[in-house]
């Protein structure tokens, strides 16, 4: 009981200590705030109210009154850049760099901001030169990330590989997928220039960086086919199933053409039908549909589409069924079916697109790198309508 009374008596004492500490902190805060120019608070208030133009005017006044204030220069330069006034941002950061009394840390900061100004303005050569000056400073990671963006824009894939590897070694996050994609870009270029052996070497490096790279596997099959090894290409493309079943749709046409080339088209159809049963896809249906018509006739193709529509009802699938119906439709219903198909097709054109999972950019064709946000491997290998049905 005595212990409890002592505790109760101690509460006001500790409360008083807390009150004194709080008063000291408040007094320090008030003292510091009084030393700041009034324009600083005006500018901050404008920023909070989403009025960047007025904020810039306030910060310009502060810089005129106190030209030694580096922080105000940084704030002003960043505001100019965000608003798209890159020339003014460049001048602000260049003026900062010209100051002989600028501490080394702030000098590196100004150098980085200047590089970002150049990057925003599209002056990639100047940006690259500026960021290269920072690789041995505290801004090394930020500079390398900016250099990586520049080399991707310029399609300097070998430089991009070196920078990405450097970032990974510095502990700035895993970059295996990006490195594999850069090697794939080089391999793709080698294949275009009819250099399949060079492409194979590059693709080996891509798979060494990322064993799960579907694109590297697909391109390895393309390189083997270019060297005349159709069986090797078929075996390689079939590995996609073990990496990612949905991506099988991307190699379906290659597989079917390969099996035709080696004289085993029925084996190809059976394989693709098995894939279709495992992971329905309108792109896969398209390839199987044409092959079934060729080998088994229109009725078998109709049944294929009907079965898929029951399992996965989509307008894209309905469009394919109407196409099959029109192939042997009687003359008196052909015109009506054509009208219905045209109407359905008009809607499906909006649905038959791939969509980036990061920025939402839609495209008619599949991309490994999103044209909208430039991120890698953000496109699911299914059309938007299929994804909506699945969700």
53-74 tens-digit pLDDT: 555 455 444 444 444 566 766 7
Q: For residue 144, what pLDDT is reported?
A: 95
Average pLDDT over residues 123-134: 94
Check: CB of residue 342 under 8 Å from CB of residue 359. Answer: no
Q: Is the pLDDT of residue 194 over 50?
A: yes
Q: Is the pLDDT of residue 189 over 90?
A: yes
More confident residue, 17 or 271: 271
Whether residue 26 has pLDDT greater than 60: no
The segment with the largest mean pLDDT, out of 46-60, 77-91, 140-154, 338-352, is 140-154
The pLDDT assigned to 69 comes to: 62
- pLDDT-derived band at 34 (thresholds 50, 70, 90) equals very low
Q: Which residues contact 251 (CB under 8 A, 6 or more apart)?
A: 218, 221, 237, 240
Tell me the torsion sign for CA atoms 3, 8, 12, 17. positive
Give the residue carrying structure tokens 């996609």: 240
Burial class of residue 139 in the structure, from the number of CB atoms within 10 Å of its CB (0-12 exposed, 13-18 middle, 19+ buried): buried
Residue 356 assigned as binding residue:
yes
For residue 4, is pLDDT > 60?
no
Q: 146 pLDDT exceeds 70?
A: yes
Which of 291-305, 347-361, 369-383 has the weakest average pLDDT? 347-361
pLDDT at 171 (0 to 100): 81
Per-residue pLDDT of 76-117, as tens digits, reads 777 778 878 888 888 878 877 887 877 888 889 889 989 999
Burial of 364 (0-12, 13-18, 19+ CB in 10 A): exposed
pTM: 0.78
184 assigned binding-site residue: no
Rounded mean pLDDT, 170-185: 92
- As a whole number, the mean pLDDT across the chain is 81
- Find residue 354's DSSP bridge partners: 363
- Range from 7-21, 179-193, 317-331, 374-388 carrying the lowest mean pLDDT: 7-21
List domains and CATH numbers for the chain. 68-170 (1.25.40.10), 174-243 (1.25.40.10), 353-390 (no CATH)
Q: Span 155-175, mean pLDDT?
A: 92
Task: Please give the pLDDT value at position 308.
Answer: 83
pLDDT at 126 over 60: yes
In b/e form, how buried is each residue of 86-111, taking b as 16+ CB within 10 angstroms? bebbbebbeebeeeeebeeebebbbb
Which residue in the block uniquely carries the two structure tokens 């699938």? Answer: 317
Map residue 363 onto helix, strand or coil.
strand
């Amino acid at each position: 009981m005595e212990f409890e009374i002592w505790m109760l008596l101690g509460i006001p004492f500790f409360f008083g200590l807390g009150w004194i500490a709080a008063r000291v902190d408040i007094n320090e805060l008030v003292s510091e705030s009084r030393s700041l120019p009034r324009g600083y608070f005006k500018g901050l208030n404008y920023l909070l109210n989403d009025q960047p133009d007025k904020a810039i005017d306030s910060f310009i006044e502060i810089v005129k009154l106190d030209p030694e204030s580096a922080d105000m220069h940084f704030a002003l330069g960043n505001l100019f850049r965000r608003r798209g006034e890159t020339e003014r941002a460049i001048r602000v950061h260049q003026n900062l760099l010209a100051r002989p009394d600028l501490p080394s840390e702030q000098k590196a900061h100004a150098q980085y901001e200047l590089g970002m100004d150049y990057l925003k303005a599209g002056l990639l050569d100047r940006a690259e030169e500026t960021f290269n000056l920072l690789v041995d400073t505290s801004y090394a990671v930020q500079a390398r990330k900016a250099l990586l963006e520049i080399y991707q824009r310029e399609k300097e894939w070998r430089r991009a590989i070196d920078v990405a590897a450097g970032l990974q070694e510095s502990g700035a996050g895993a970059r295996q997928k990006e490195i594999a994609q850069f090697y794939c870009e080089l391999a793709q270029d080698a294949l275009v220039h009819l250099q399949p052996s060079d492409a194979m070497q590059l693709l080996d490096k891509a798979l060494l960086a990322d064993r799960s790279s579907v694109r590297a596997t697909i391109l390895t099959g393309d390189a083997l086919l270019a060297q005349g090894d159709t069986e090797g290409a078929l075996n390689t493309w079939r590995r996609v199933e073990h990496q990612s079943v949905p991506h099988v749709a991307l190699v379906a046409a290659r597989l079917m053409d390969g099996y035709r080339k080696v004289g085993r088209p029925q084996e190809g159809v059976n394989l693709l039908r098995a894939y279709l049963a495992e992971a329905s896809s309108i792109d896969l249906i398209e390839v199987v549909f044409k092959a079934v018509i060729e080998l088994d006739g229109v009725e078998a193709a109709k049944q294929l589409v009907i079965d898929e529509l029951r399992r996965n009802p989509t307008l894209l699938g309905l469009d394919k069924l109407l196409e099959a119906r029109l192939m042997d439709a009687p003359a008196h219903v052909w015109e009506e079916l054509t009208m219905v198909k045209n109407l359905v097709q008009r809607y499906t054109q909006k649905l038959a697109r791939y969509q980036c999972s990061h920025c939402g950019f839609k495209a008619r064709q599949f991309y490994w790198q999103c044209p909208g946000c430039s991120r890698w491997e953000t496109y699911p290998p299914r059309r938007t309508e299929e994804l909506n049905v699945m969700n």
